């Protein structure tokens, strides 16, 4: 308990700067008539995932193991999607009751120390991704929640971010340098902004810079190129958190987009060109590339990039887009207010 209160104290004295949320209400605030929220599901303390790749390149996934991992994560995902549904409704419609229920569910899991029990290696990956979704859901409703509730939720988010940070701080394993490291940065950056913690934010920016350091002049990432038939898929998966970090950092007055002579744009161009014609990527990876989905999460970076730096190549994927959902980046992507 002492550690929790130390985190709470740190929380309220973490930064003197102004922190900017990417979310603003899109409609007048609607009255909350006090209807009871749906009961909070049982707290999930342990995160035990199921590893599903069966080869050294991590390119062959066992369908049965993939299904088992999804089943193991389902209670977390059901919880997160409901919280995001309420928080999204608050931003989109001014639904005060939605904000209250999202806050209640977050507080209940904070009090139960959710996701802070036993965690295996695959579980560490799953926790990292869901921490970002939780932090963004909280950030959406934060202005409506009372101080005591915010303190409890933010103390919990800080513990989750610290757990993610500690996992990737050593930089000794392969996953300390590949896409997982960038997703760790995204996870920690969302918590940093939600809890206004400069030290966490700085660490997340360094994870972004780690990605730029890995990036070659031809726009490739060697550790993702080594994924064989999934090289293109994992280049896009690595690009996702880098674009999202650059955008969230820009809201805080830090221009990661421009660092190292706009090096991120090299990866963007490589992914876009390879989506249009995967031949070059297949030649470099030594294997034909699997088809890559450009929906949901995989389209979210494209929407952000098009707002920031319009590119005609993106029109193919974004034409007619009216909705875009991805729990890893807060649910309804189109609620995000892109920095000018």
Tell me, what CATH number does 321's domain have?
A: 1.50.10.100
- Domain of residue 269: give its range: 40-335
Residue 162 lies in a domain: yes
* 241: nearest Cα among 216, 272, 209: 209
pLDDT band at 174 (very low <50, low <70, confident <90, very high): confident
Cβ neighbours around 79 below 10 Å, total = 22
Q: CA separation (Å) from 310 to 42, 257, 273, 307, 314?
A: 44, 14, 15, 6, 8
Question: How many structural domains is the chain composed of?
Answer: 1
Residue 61: what pLDDT?
A: 87
Residue 250 lies in a domain: yes
CA distance 136 to 140: 6
Residue 17 lies in a domain: no
Residue 3 lies in a domain: no
CA distance 123 to 45: 11
Residue 33 lies in a domain: no
Residue located via tokens 């990432």: 221
CA distance 61 to 231: 14
- Tens digits of per-residue pLDDT, 195-232? 999 999 999 999 999 999 999 999 999 999 999 999 99
Residue 261 lies in a domain: yes
The answer, yes or no, to whether residue 1 has pLDDT greater than 70, is no
pTM for the model: 0.94
Under a CB-based contact definition with an 8 Å cutoff, are residues 273 and 265 in contact? no
Residue 57 lies in a domain: yes
Residue 274 lies in a domain: yes
- Tens digits of per-residue pLDDT, 93-152? 999 999 999 999 999 999 999 999 999 999 999 999 999 999 999 999 999 999 999 999
């Amino acid at each position: 308990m002492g550690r929790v209160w130390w985190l709470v104290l740190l929380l309220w004295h973490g930064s003197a700067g102004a922190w900017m949320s990417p979310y603003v209400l899109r409609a007048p605030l609607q009255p909350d008539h006090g209807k009871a929220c749906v009961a909070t599901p049982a707290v999930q303390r342990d995160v035990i995932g199921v590893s599903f790749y069966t080869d050294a390149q991590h390119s062959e996934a066992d369908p049965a193991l993939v299904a088992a991992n999804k089943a193991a994560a389902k209670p977390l995902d059901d919880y997160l999607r409901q919280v995001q549904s309420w928080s999204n409704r608050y931003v989109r419609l001014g639904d005060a009751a939605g904000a209250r229920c999202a806050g209640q569910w977050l507080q209940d899991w904070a009090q139960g120390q959710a996701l802070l029990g036993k965690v295996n290696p695959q579980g560490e990956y799953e926790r990292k991704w869901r921490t970002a979704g939780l932090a963004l859901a909280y950030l959406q409703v934060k202005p409506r929640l009372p101080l005591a509730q915010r303190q409890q939720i933010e103390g919990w988010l800080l513990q989750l971010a610290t757990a993610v940070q500690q996992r990737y701080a050593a930089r000794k394993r392969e996953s300390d340098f590949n896409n997982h490291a960038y997703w760790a940065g995204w996870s920690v950056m969302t918590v940093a902004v939600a809890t206004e913690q400069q030290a966490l934010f700085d660490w997340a920016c360094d994870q972004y810079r780690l990605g730029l350091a890995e990036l070659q002049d031809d726009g490739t990432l060697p550790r993702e190129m080594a994924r064989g038939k999934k090289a293109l898929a994992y280049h896009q998966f690595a690009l996702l958190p880098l674009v999202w970090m650059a955008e969230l950092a820009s809201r805080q007055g830090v221009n990661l987009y421009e660092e190292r002579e706009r090096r991120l744009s090299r990866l963007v161009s490589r992914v876009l060109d390879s989506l249009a014609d995967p031949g070059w990527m297949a030649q470099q990876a030594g294997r034909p590339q699997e088809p890559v989905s450009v929906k949901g999460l995989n389209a979210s970076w494209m929407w952000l990039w098009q707002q920031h730096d319009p590119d005609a190549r993106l029109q193919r994927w974004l034409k007619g887009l009216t909705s875009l959902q991805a729990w890893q980046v807060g649910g309804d992507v189109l609620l995000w207010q892109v920095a000018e």
